[in-house]
């Protein structure tokens, strides 16, 4: 994932899945309650386990 920023990952997932589906796939409040890219980035930068889940989902979707 070199050269891909966390913001690019979140934006890409939201564009492809939408907030509702993203929140269903990864059940964290920053995706389900009043979601925004800014709040999601803030949470994901402080929470390694959540960031790992987001990155794993992104990689799996980009393979398809």
In this structure, what are the phi and psi dihedrals at residue 40, rounded to the nearest 5 degrees?
A: -65, -45
pLDDT at 39 over 80: yes
- The answer to whether residue 1 scores a pLDDT higher than 90 is no
Helices assigned H by DSSP within the chain? 6-25, 29-32, 37-46, 48-63
Burial of 17 (C-beta count, 10 Å sphere; 0-12/13-18/19+): middle
Domains, the chain, ranges and CATH? 6-63 (1.10.720.30)
Residue 24's pLDDT band (boundaries 50, 70, 90)?
very high
> For residue 63, how many other CB atoms are within 10 A of its CB?
6
Q: Is residue 64 scored above 80 in pLDDT? A: no
């Amino acid at each position: 994932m070199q050269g891909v920023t966390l913001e690019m990952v979140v934006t890409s997932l939201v564009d492809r899945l939408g907030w509702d589906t993203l929140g269903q796939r990864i059940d964290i409040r920053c995706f389900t309650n009043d979601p925004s890219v800014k709040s999601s980035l803030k949470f994901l930068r402080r929470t390694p386990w959540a960031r790992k889940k987001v990155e794993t989902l992104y990689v799996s979707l980009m393979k398809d």
